[in-house]
């Protein structure tokens, strides 16, 4: 296993309910180190660019509207196998299918308002991290 970095976003449904600290505690308990973090309010266009890969999906408009509806916390997590590990800590996209103890099982409201984003692989993580952070902001 290699040390990797992954892009995480604490979504508006979670920032609205003041869950940033509770979610960060899950990452840290799993051995993921938060090496960069900032709270920002995305525009619809910025959310649309980030989720461009889903542009053809029926939920794309709703997703961009949701992601720009309130502040998010964007963060870079570092650790062994960080991309797969974070996906485990997050749980399945649909909270109804998420395993016990996962962030989405405990906190998500629905398949759309599911509290966190996580990169799906190291290659996508590199692109997603560069979308939000400069190299100078990554303090590993």
Task: Determine which residue in the list 47, 83, 114, 133 makes contact with ligand ADP, applying CB under 6 A.
Answer: 114
Residue 81: which region, alpha, beta or left (left: phi > 0; alpha: psi -120 to 50)? left
Q: In whole angstroms, how close is the CB of 135 to ligand ADP at the nearest point?
A: 25
Q: Which of residues 47-76 bind ligand ADP (CB under 6 A)?
A: 54, 59, 63
Q: Is 131 in the site for ligand ADP (CB under 6 A)?
A: no
Q: Is 111 in the site for ligand ADP (CB under 6 A)?
A: yes
Q: What is d(CA 98, CA 82) in angstroms, rounded to the nearest whole number?
A: 19
* Candidate list 117, 125, 128, 132, residue with the active-site label: 117
Task: Determine which residue in the list 81, 112, 122, 126 makes contact with ligand ADP, applying CB under 6 A.
Answer: 112
Catalytic residue flag (residue 54): no
Q: Is 117 in the site for ligand ADP (CB under 6 A)?
A: yes
Among the residue ranges 19-27, 30-38, 111-119, 127-135, the one whose residues contact ligand ADP (CB under 6 A): 111-119
Q: In whole angstroms, how close is the CB of 20 to ligand ADP at the nearest point?
A: 18
């Amino acid at each position: 296993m290699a040390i990797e970095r992954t892009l995480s976003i604490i979504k508006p449904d979670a920032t609205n309910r003041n869950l940033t600290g509770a979610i960060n505690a899950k990452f840290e308990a799993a051995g993921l180190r938060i090496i960069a973090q900032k709270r920002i309010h995305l525009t619809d266009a910025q959310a649309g660019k980030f989720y461009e890969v889903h542009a053809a999906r029926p939920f794309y408009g709703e997703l961009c509207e949701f992601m720009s509806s309130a502040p998010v916390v964007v963060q870079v997590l570092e650790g062994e196998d960080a991309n797969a590990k974070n996906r485990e800590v997050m749980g399945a996209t649909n909270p109804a299918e998420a395993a016990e103890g996962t962030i989405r099982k405990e906190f998500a409201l629905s398949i759309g308002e599911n509290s966190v984003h996580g990169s799906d692989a190291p290659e996508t993580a590199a692109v997603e991290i560069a979308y939000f952070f400069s190299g100078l902001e990554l303090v590993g």
